[in-house]
Amino acid sequence: MTIANRRSVMVLFSGPQDHLSHRVRIVMAEKGIVHEVESVDISDPQEEFLKLSPYQLLPTIADRDLTLFGSKVIMEYLDERFPHPPLMPVDPVARAQARQMIERIDLDWSKRIEEIEQGGDKVAAQARSSLTESITMLAPLFAQSQFFMSDDFSLVDCSLAPILWRLKSLKITLPLSAKAVTDYAERLFDRDSFMDSLTEEERELDE
Q: Do 111 and 185 share a domain, yes or no? A: yes
pLDDT 10s digits, 75-103: 999 999 999 999 999 999 999 999 999 99
Question: Whole-model pTM?
Answer: 0.93
- Across the range 177-205, mean pLDDT stands at 95
- Mean pLDDT within 107-115: 93
Q: Residue 30: which domain range?
A: 3-81
- β-sheet with 60-63: strand ranges across: 35-39, 10-14, 60-63, 66-69
Instruction: Identify whether residues 77 and 98 lie together within a single domain.
Output: no
Q: Would you list the DSSP string of the chain?
A: --GGGGSSSEEEEE-TT-HHHHHHHHHHHHHT--EEEEE--TTS--HHHHHH-TT--SSEEEETTEEEESHHHHHHHHHHHS-SS--S-SSHHHHHHHHHHHHHIIIIIIHHHHHHHHS-HHHHHHHHHHHHHHHHHTHHHHTSSSBTTBSS--HHHHHHHHHHHTTTTTT----GGGHHHHHHHHHHHTSHHHHHH--HHHHGGG-
Domain assignment present for 72: yes
Residue 33 lies in a domain: yes
Grade residue 6 by pLDDT with cuts at 50, 70 and 90. Answer: low
Q: Residue 1: its pLDDT value, please? A: 33
**14 and 54: one domain?**
yes
Mean pLDDT, rounded, of the chain: 92
pLDDT reading at 2 higher than 50: no
Q: Is residue 207 part of a domain?
A: no
CATH number at residue 31: 3.40.30.10
